[in-house]
Structure 1
């Protein structure tokens, strides 16, 4: 789960890197969806008011799509397209893309998202500069076509939805658009490669909170997301497996026993059974146990994996207090994470 050193990726297009120091690196992971990714790159390059560099890490696009990305980046002095050795998922891909740059802040932008305004990136960096105890700035995620809330990307207690345009402290952030101070990212150990995708932001946030920092949601700093809230979650493939496995694994990583996680596990099985993926959920439980048993905190970071009283109080005040009792919280967590899952 370290930040490197990683094998050097293959340089495909654009500059070898920025000519000087930058305020922010924008990282974009690519895997096909060339048209959307090209738009995301253009949006990042159009950001004003600060020194930046755009890093695009391809994780296995088809040759024709990689060629389109290369043509779009061309010989841009402020952008670099590289190809990673394989698909590392969201967690591992972001780790490797982040390691490419040196900017004091890192902004991750989904390849199907765009900045809402030309100064969004500058304002995210300003927010981090203004409050040194903030580890991550969570952006408001809006539906690209309409500007409405992307409900599939609302990763906070449902009761806070009326405050979507405001600001509040949180215990996680949404990956589609967020900024992190590089020093804090490195101090916390980055993302856990083992997660691949799903819950990696929550896992990072727990370590940051345990180190005495905050996660700040800012509804006035927004990105627009092209994935429809009505169709984002798919019950095919292994999405439900990763959702269940990773959440249980994270609980065990931070000291919650398997028996204490049983109500959550059973609630997930009910949800999975209703949607025809009971097998995924059952396999996820065993896989979570396997990951947890193999996990060892990196040397020197052991304390980050046992929540302090201060961290527990922060989580209680900024998450649990907005969700109600345990049964209500588990049910709301599942339903809010999958607001419009296909009924198949």
Structure 2
């Protein structure tokens, strides 16, 4: 892409009007302006939006995956976007050159599919879970990775045209990994770029009421959809052990077991197991698809 044009997609449930307004102001302040900005009300009405911002109100909450697919469809209709930037509605772009630097990254590498931003709170701290690699002690170490952060990232539209959009049945949890694995298997690159920052409050994923069930169900679906048959029980066995060790809440563990059982008994097609060459590529990048 010689001059990648950026389109922005933001989901909201109408509960953070002040944060959404601040985020839109930070998008408008970018030195490289976005070609389009779309805000999706995910089962909610939208507040008044600034001039030039397109609103889409969905009659029901379609989750992260479904809502982002709706934003993506609207951006595609405009026909003038090359890179889609998804941003959390309680995030903030603290530097005015994010889109400029993002466009330069895509212009320099035609096989760059995903660019993951660094998520940092107002004190500059990055949570360990927000570093998309196993060795997460240094959040400033960028490079090629095997997954990305949902709160702030760029996606090549050419890549999405090839591999498809977000996995709508997932609703919430692991949708980024599903998309990243498809991208890697199709030969695209996923890059973590810590200089591109989305400021975001320090949070816990368990603040979402459906966290434990969705995480477990979607973990099973992820394995059933994308892993070679030999790796499915290994992947699920490793994550079962990790969850038992990490989970401190009996209620949370019960919800996780229920979600795991739901994932086993329900389909989530299509099944397209990744190539063994992709497994090896992910292993060389530091995260084989078993953990």
TM-score, normalising length: structure 2: 0.88
Cα drift, residue 172 of structure 1: 0.4
C-alpha separation in 2, matches of 1:180 and 1:196: 19
C-alpha separation in 2, matches of 1:309 and 1:316: 10
Match of 2:255 in 1: 280
Q: Structure 2 vs 1, CA of residues 54 and 285 (structure 1 numbering), >3 Å: closer, same or farther? A: same
Task: Confirm whether residue 81 of structure 1 aligns to residue 55 of structure 2.
Answer: yes
Higher mean displacement: 233-242 or 52-61: 233-242
C-alpha separation in 2, matches of 1:212 and 1:203: 15
C-alpha separation in 1, matches of 2:249 and 2:89: 31
Match of 1:183 in 2: 158
Aligned residue pair count: 281
Unmatched runs of 5 consecutive residues or more in structure 2: none
Unmatched runs of 5 consecutive residues or more in structure 1: 1-20, 298-304, 331-344
Pick the aligned partner of 1:211 from 169, 186, 208: 186
Q: Structure 2 vs 1, CA of residues 96 and 309 (structure 1 numbering), >3 Å: closer, same or farther? A: same
Higher mean displacement: 202-211 or 261-270: 261-270
Cα drift, residue 54 of structure 1: 1.0
Q: Structure 2 vs 1, CA of residues 22 and 221 (structure 1 numbering), >3 Å: closer, same or farther? A: closer
Please show how residues 164-179 of structure 1 align to structure 2 within 5 Å.
164-179=139-154
- Which structure would you say has the larger Rg? 1
What is the SS of the residue equivalent to 2:212?
A: helix
Task: Confirm whether residue 94 of structure 1 aligns to residue 68 of structure 2.
Answer: yes
C-alpha separation in 2, matches of 1:272 and 1:167: 29
C-alpha separation in 1, matches of 2:42 and 2:133: 29
Pick the aligned partner of 1:310 from 258, 277, 281: 277
Say whether the 8 Å CA contact 1:56–1:79 is kept in structure 2. yes
Q: Structure 2 vs 1, CA of residues 319 and 92 (structure 1 numbering), >3 Å: closer, same or farther? A: farther
Match of 1:54 in 2: 37
Q: Structure 2 vs 1, CA of residues 138 and 22 (structure 1 numbering), >3 Å: closer, same or farther? A: closer
Please show how residues 11-50 of structure 1 align to structure 2 within 5 Å.
23-31=5-13, 32-50=15-33
Task: Confirm whether residue 110 of structure 1 aligns to residue 88 of structure 2.
Answer: yes
TM-score, normalising length: structure 1: 0.75
Say whether the 8 Å CA contact 2:119–2:126 is kept in structure 1. yes
Task: Compute the RMSD of aligned alpha carbons.
Answer: 2.3
Match of 1:149 in 2: 126
